[in-house]
Amino acid sequence: MISQGSEIRAKDGRAPDVFSRDGWVAMRQYREAEEVDVAVIGTGAGGGVVAAKLAEAGLSVVAFDAGAFYRPLADFASDEREQDKLYWTDDRISGGDDAIEMGSNNSGRAIGGSTVHFQMVALRFRPEWFQARSRLGYGRDWPVDWREMWRCYDEVEDALKIAGPVTYPWGPKRGRYPYRQHELNASAQVLARGAEAMGVDWSPCPISTVSAPRGKSPPCVYRGFCKIGCSTNAKQSILNTYIPRALAAGAEVRDLAMVGRIETGSDGRATGVHYHRDGEWRFQKARRVVVAGYSIETPRLLLNSSSPSHPQGLANAEGLVGTELMVHSNHAVWGVMEDEIRWYKGPPSMAVCEHWNYDDDKDFHGGYAFMSQGPLPTDFATSMVKNLGVFGMELRRRMALYNHMAGLKIVGEVMPTPANRVELSEETDALGLPLPRITFRFGENDRKLSDHALRFMRTMHEAAGARDIFETAGSAHLMGGCRMGFSAADGVVDGAGRAFSCPNLWIADGSVMPTGGGVNPSITIMANATRIAGHMIGAIARGEG
């Protein structure tokens, strides 16, 4: 019964039934010599959506993921240390002035990708951000019409049955969220009180966990372990939404299958993927390849797939692969409340303030949202150690105030900068693949933004009654690295996700985002993947794919 996350489960014509403890669902399988319509690499926010949509359109799809195929009810413990199994913990070399923390901070490895342990915040981009350069004067424009994205958001929000507020205070009018907002926990009420004291709007956060039963998902029980996997199945992740859809539509999912190289022919077209599974390297033939390994692994894979027709790496004719890697600044203020808050109850971020995403009267570009917080014990303790250097009895005594803590943390937009990037290092991993080397540094605008945010949140936290306030700095999420652009000189892929220099290669994950916006990215990644899948299906139908 106990999963070590190392056992191949999707085989012999069946895959785990994620709604059961030990059950199975039927899975179609394809032979490796058979040229499948599409090989999808990565089954997270981007890959999971694409695999399901393409399979539902009748294409033969094999989706690969380096991670394991979990059944949340039986495999997810209420234990932070055990659940490290959900993260991408292989070494990645991280440098630069503000070297990014990887692993549990931003990278998942499982069927369902990082959505298995994401915090479920589901905020849309502000429409203007899709034309940040021409309308707001910074970053880049997306080769995408925001209204098309808006329609795709609708589709994705319905697929995840997002539980959101009846009315949302910011941005253009949107349809009603499929499920109603959750009850605010005490931690969220702190944000609400602070916002009211400051005279800015706040809102219950739209989140991807159901507030009423849905199919085999019971409603959220407010156990608060979302960030290490939801053993309730209330969380609507890719693992328990799009993956079952993909399987039902005839896609094959290969778990614990690490793709090391995309093969290309002499004509420069992709011909299939080399992947490592069950102790050996194997090859799957495919007519088309969709890469969705997220902002580190997607560039790493492309760079490692050089061939005579793509000498600098696949789709890297212009040297753009791996560049303009972005994070979100994730700075926070924390304080002690007289009330018992017990922020371990409920999803960590149940209230949000997007004021500074929509108010342009500020001294920096971009925007930020901030949310109420509810870190689990080791998460909180280590953030104090890393930021403040506290240890010893002082740390124990500070941690003893755990139930009285409340915090506000931003998701702050970071400007795309060419020098922030992913490359291949000289070192290799156990499979012989080169380790990625990541370089990152916050720019001046990024610092202005986080300073502004810390000032604003500190005032607000004080207004809500917090004492002994302290600040932490950090980053969250990954975006960019293989951005969409208007031309080959401007991006790795076009607005439909197709690589400029390889006609049967698509990218459909967070790496294609030209800008990061001031909100958590996954719902945007999913909406964009929905869009890309739609364009792919259209192109294939027209015989152009």
Partner 1 sequence: MTSPPRRYPDYDVLDKRDSPSWDDITRHVVAGRLNPPERQFFDDALWDVLIALCDTIMPQPDRDRPIAIWIDAALAQNRTTGTRYDNLPPMREAWKRGLAALEAEARLCHGRPFHDLAQDAREALLKAIDREEVAAPEWNDLPPRRMFREVLANEIVRVYYSHPDAWSEIGFGGPASPRGYVRLGPNRRDPWEAEESAATRRSAEP
Partner 2 sequence: MTSFAPPRERSPLAGAATALALAGLVGAGLWAARRPQPRPQPGSALPVETARQPAARRARQGGMLLAASAAIDGATEHYRGGFHRWEMYLGPAASIGALAASAMQAAMPRPLREGLLLTAAGVGLAGHAFHARNILDRPGGVCWSNLFYAAPIGAPGSVALAGLAGLAATMLERREPEMPHRRGRWIAIGTVAGLLGTTAEVALLHFRGAYHNPAMYIPVTLPPIAALTLGAAAARPSPTRLRLAHRMLGATAMMGLVGTAFHAWGVHRNMGGWRNWQQNLLVAPPLPAPPGFTGVALVGLAAIDLLEASE
Ligand X SMILES: Cc1cc2nc3c(=O)[nH]c(=O)nc-3n(C[C@H](O)[C@H](O)[C@H](O)COP(=O)(O)OP(=O)(O)OC[C@H]3O[C@@H](n4cnc5c(N)ncnc54)[C@H](O)[C@@H]3O)c2cc1C
Pick 211 or 475: Cβ nearer ligand SF4: 211
- Only segment of 116-124, 165-173, 486-494, 502-510 that touches partner 2 (CB under 8 A): 165-173
Single residue of 44, 335, 374, 485 touching ligand X by CB under 6 A: 44
Single residue of 182, 214, 477, 531 touching ligand X by CB under 6 A: 477
Q: Rounded CA gap, 362 and 368, in Å?
A: 11
Q: Does 87 bind partner 1 (CB under 8 A)?
A: yes
Single residue of 212, 401, 419, 541 touching partner 2 by CB under 8 A: 212
Q: Does 328 bind partner 1 (CB under 8 A)?
A: no
Count CB-CB contacts under 10 A for residue 358. Answer: 15
Query: Footprint of partner 1 on residues 293-322 (CB under 8 A)?
Result: none
Q: Does 221 bind partner 2 (CB under 8 A)?
A: yes
Q: Rounded CA gap, 84 and 423, in Å?
A: 26
- Only segment of 143-151, 190-198, 402-410, 534-542 that touches partner 2 (CB under 8 A): 190-198
Single residue of 123, 205, 234, 493 touching ligand SF4 by CB under 6 A: 234
Q: Does 110 bind ligand X (CB under 6 A)?
A: yes
Count CB-CB contacts under 10 A for residue 434. Answer: 16
Q: What is the DSSP string of 382-405?
A: HHHHHHH---THHHHHHHTTGGGE
Single residue of 26, 212, 221, 419 touching ligand SF4 by CB under 6 A: 221
> If you ran DSSP here, which 8-state letter would residue 144 be given?
S
Pick 337 or 351: Cβ nearer ligand X: 351
Angle at which helix 522-541 crosses helix 45-56, to 10 degrees, equals: 30
Q: Does 180 bind partner 1 (CB under 8 A)?
A: no
Contact 271, 504 (CB under 8 A): no
Q: What is the DSSP string of 448-515?
A: HHHHHHHHHHHHHHHHTT-EEEEEE--EEEEEEES-B-SSTTT-SB-TTSBBTT-TTEEE-SGGG-S-
CB of 300 to ligand X, least distance (A): 7
Single residue of 149, 190, 220, 482 touching ligand SF4 by CB under 6 A: 220
Q: Which residue has the tokens 């106990």?
A: 2
Query: Footprint of ligand SF4 on residues 187-216 (CB under 6 A)?
Result: 209
CB of 220 to partner 1, least distance (A): 8
Query: Footprint of ligand X on residues 226-285 (CB under 6 A)?
Result: 227, 258-259
H helical segments located in 219-360: 242-248, 294-303, 355-358
Single residue of 9, 53, 92, 277 touching partner 1 by CB under 8 A: 92
Pick 61 or 207: Cβ nearer partner 2: 207
H or E element in which residue 379 lies: helix 377-388
Structure tokens, 54:
């393409």
Helix, strand or coil, per DSSP, at residue 518:
coil
Q: What is the DSSP string of 8-71?
A: --SBTTEEE-TTSSS-EEE-----TTS-EEEEEE--SHHHHHHHHHHHHTT--EEEE-SSB---
Single residue of 232, 357, 373, 383 touching partner 2 by CB under 8 A: 232
Single residue of 231, 372, 472, 522 touching ligand X by CB under 6 A: 522
Single residue of 235, 421, 437, 477 touching ligand SF4 by CB under 6 A: 235
Pick 51 or 384: Cβ nearer partner 1: 384
Q: Does 347 bind ligand SF4 (CB under 6 A)?
A: yes
CB of 1 to partner 2, least distance (A): 8
Q: Which residue has the tokens 């058979």?
A: 34
Cβ burial of 393 (10 Å; 0-12, 13-18, 19+) is exposed
Cβ burial of 514 (10 Å; 0-12, 13-18, 19+) is buried
CB of 111 to partner 1, least distance (A): 18
Which residues sit at the interface with ligand SF4, rule CB under 6 A? 209, 220-226, 230, 232, 234-235, 346-347
